[in-house]
Amino acid sequence: MERRTIGAPSLQVGAVGLGCMPMHWAYTASARRREGSLEAIHAALDLGMNLLDTADMFGPFTNELLMGRVLRERRADAFVSTKCGLLVGDQHIVANGHPGYVRRACDASLRRLRTDVIDLYQLHRPDPEVPVEETWGAMADLVRAGKVRSLGFCAVGAYAGRRPSPIRAGRLVTGAERYRTTVSQLERVQQVFPISAVTAELSVWTPQARETLLPWCAARGVGFLAAQPLGSGFLTGTLKPGQGFEPEDVRARHPRFTAEAMAGNQVLVAELRRVARRHGPEVSAAQVALAWVLAQGSQVVAVPGTKHARWVAENARAASLQLTAADLAGIAALPAAREAW
């Protein structure tokens, strides 16, 4: 698989990585199977998808433990990305950016992952009660101590960490506004220690990062890890309006996954399918969606999440799909996705 550089020449990963969140968090709990998830991770490594993206909160902790079973045998094959900064309670999630917590969280992740170094350690969310420079400084100390190779920052859609409405004063909120807070934080932490990668949503139906955040990364040689590049499954074309979701599934509460919104957004899937047909009967809408993400810049890495080896294999093939100018123009002409995400 094509390799892409994030932050420094020594940090190279496959153009498509594996997001491990669905294995233990957020989606369809009844479909989670430990052995199936292990198979998916092994399949990713076999196919050159060496970036394995997890977090201590996934489970919490159980996803890192699962990954540790794989890394015990295949550490040399993997580029390990995990995150700190969020604590999970019974009914809530809170940020913790205190330096002492960051150090303890890193040591705990190293034990669960069964490794002596984390390739990319990301700040999941800044703590509003702690200056972000203090949190980042503690993370930089982990690099100096040899426990971490590089640092990453997970972008929030601005406005003090709350999801913004897509409409403000009767107009659409732009990408520049959506990521205003994140860019400010990135500028601050960059003065403390270099950022190697920024993680943010980027997909056909959530393209706002292209306006400000992606150019910021490109201008500074910072990698961009595209989260949810398949729109939480919608852009695969496998979800049907009104199908319903399990209560614990985050899509059960998101306005884009109501029956009405899903029906209205089928135009996006229809165009992805049209593009796929032009490239041959074996090409899927999901692969076109991933290829679109990869076409946004040489520093962009798509990180679709899955717990199934068959989808891992399909996602891997997207790395070799080259979209034409006509393909990209057709996607660019699509209407904005309906409802806030």
Q: Any bridge partners for residue 300, and if so which?
A: 224
Q: How far apart are CA 257 and CA 180, in angstroms?
A: 26
pLDDT band at residue 170 under the 50/70/90 scheme:
very low
pLDDT in tens, 252-286: 989 999 999 999 999 999 999 999 999 999 999 99
- Predicted local confidence at residue 90, as pLDDT: 76
Q: How far apart are CA 213 and CA 8, in angstroms?
A: 19
Residue 109 has pLDDT above 90, yes or no: yes
- Predicted local confidence at residue 163, as pLDDT: 39
Report, as an integer, the average pLDDT of 87-95. 87
The pTM of the full predicted model, rounded to 2 decimals, is 0.94
Q: How far apart are CA 53 and CA 49, in angstroms?
A: 11
Strand 171-172 relative to strand 167-168, pairing: antiparallel
Report, as an integer, the average pLDDT of 153-168. 53
47 in Cβ contact with 312 (< 8 Å): yes
pLDDT band at residue 341 under the 50/70/90 scheme:
low
- Predicted local confidence at residue 89, as pLDDT: 81
* Average predicted confidence (pLDDT) for the chain: 92
Closest CA to 119 of 85, 155, 78: 78
Is residue 165 exposed (0-12), middle (13-18) or buried (19+ Cβ within 10 Å)?
A: exposed
- Predicted local confidence at residue 158, as pLDDT: 39
Residue 171 has pLDDT above 50, yes or no: no
- Predicted local confidence at residue 193, as pLDDT: 98
Residue 75 has pLDDT above 90, yes or no: yes
Q: How far apart are CA 61 and CA 66, in angstroms?
A: 9
Residue 164 has pLDDT above 60, yes or no: no
CA distances from 232 to 103, 113, 162, 227 (A): 32, 26, 19, 9
Residue 172 has pLDDT above 60, yes or no: no
Residue 245 has pLDDT above 50, yes or no: yes
85 in Cβ contact with 135 (< 8 Å): yes
Report, as an integer, the average pLDDT of 51-67. 96
Residue 168 has pLDDT above 80, yes or no: no
pLDDT in tens, 208-225: 999 999 999 999 999 999
